[in-house]
Structure 1
Amino acid sequence: MWTVVFIAQNKPEAEKIKNKLTEEGLLVKTKPLGCSKNAEAASYEILVPASEIDEAMEIMNSF
C-alpha cells in the first residue's frame, strides 16, 4: 500500500524530493492534489510503499 510521506507545495519541489528518494533506492510516486489549472503550482503528495516509510522519513529529515 502506498502512503503519503510529504506534501510538496509545487511540482518542482515534488520532483526534487522524488529524485532524492529515488536516488536512495526507494520507490516513489507523486500525485497532484486538487484540480489546479496550473499543474506547476499545484501541491503534490509524495507517496512511498508502507514498508519504506521509516527510511523515506530519515532521508527527508537529512535535507
Structure 2
Amino acid sequence: MNEQAAEIRKARFGALPERVAFEDMVEEKAVLSANHARDAYDPDGLAVRFSCLAADLGL
C-alpha cells in the first residue's frame, strides 16, 4: 500500500520545481532623480504652509 501511495503521489504532483538562484529573483533599478521643484527651499512658499503668529513676531 505504501509503494502504491507513493506512486500515486508522484503521478499527481510530480517532482519539486528546480531551485531558483537568488540572482534571478532580484531586480535592480536605478533610483529616480530627486524632484528639485518640490524639494527646493522657497521662503515665500514656506509662509503659505507655515503660519504662526508667534513665529511672525519672533517669539
TM-score, normalization by structure 1: 0.19
Max Rg structure: 2
Structure with the larger helix share: 2
Higher relative contact order (CA 8 A, sep 6+): 1
Structure with more of its chain in strand, by fraction: 1
